[in-house]
Amino acid sequence: MTGRLDLARAGTSLCVAVRPDGSLDADLVEEGPLLGGDGPPFACSSHVLPEGTVLGLASSPRDGGGPPLARVAAALASPGRGPHAMADDLAGILAPERVLLVARTLRLPAGDVAEWEVPGELSAVGPVRHAAEERVREWGLGVDPLTVELIVSELVTNAVRHGAPPVALRLLRGESTLTVEVRDGAPTAPHLRHARAGDEGGRGLHICATLADAWGVRYETDGKTVWAEVALGDPAA
């Protein structure tokens, strides 16, 4: 994994990163308009962060103030402590009504990632679907390979049929979830809808939403990624 972080920002919310060496970056992304307000598009930016970087995000305070950045950095610069403990420290210096998120970046080992480039034709869906099923069986995950096969089939078919090249499939093996990602070069958003009985298509996202525990869309400057997560159970079961 690359360690890439994509950010968008509304208002004057707290948005900082503390790297493993203790250095703080409070300029990750410019301030943007408030949600629902008039103004230019939300500011966004991309960063490549080293593993172990701690991110601190918090909603804007009602009085417009906030703690000094030095105190924020001190609360988050704790390599030996977990995000929950650091969040408690940071919450103690923030106004009580603020919403807070603290996370530490990790990178998946290469063996936990499988990727395939998909030719822009429907005949490519079958081979990549079977390749994904075989990889799930090789990993010995506690998930039904048929579920993964159906999700892959629907997402890849949608990307080939309605998206734009290049199309790529990626499987991410986590501790508790398997993530299926399908990327294509079209910025258009997929829509979840209920197909009528006589419709030949329109069921792809509905099938994914039914089979997956979570799904969504991640937009990029040159396309989008549609992802779906499946919770992992006991492999022996």
pLDDT digit string, tens, across residues 28-60: 888 877 777 776 677 778 889 999 999 998 887
Helix or strand holding residue 230 (H, E): strand 223-231
Contact (Cβ atoms closer than 8 angstroms) between residue 47 and residue 41: no
* Residue for token pair 């307000």: 37
pLDDT for 60: 77
**Tokens (6 digits) for 18:** 């503390």
pLDDT bracket for residue 192 (50, 70, 90)? low
Burial label, 67 (beta-carbon count in 10 A; 0-12, 13-18, 19+): middle
**Secondary structure in 3-state letters for 73-90:** HHHHCCCCCCHHHHHHHH
Q: Does domain 110-231 have CATH number 3.40.50.300?
A: no
| Mean pLDDT rounded to a whole number for the chain | 85
128 Cβ partners below 8 Å, 6+ apart? Answer: 116, 118, 152, 156, 169
pTM: 0.70
50 Cβ partners below 8 Å, 6+ apart? Answer: 3, 19, 20, 105
Return residue ranges of the chain for CATH 3.30.565.10.
110-231
Percent of the chain with pLDDT over 90: 39
pLDDT for 228: 94
Q: Alpha-carbon torsion 87, 90, 96, 101, what sign?
A: negative
Q: Alpha-carbon torsion 92, 93, 98, 100, what sign?
A: negative
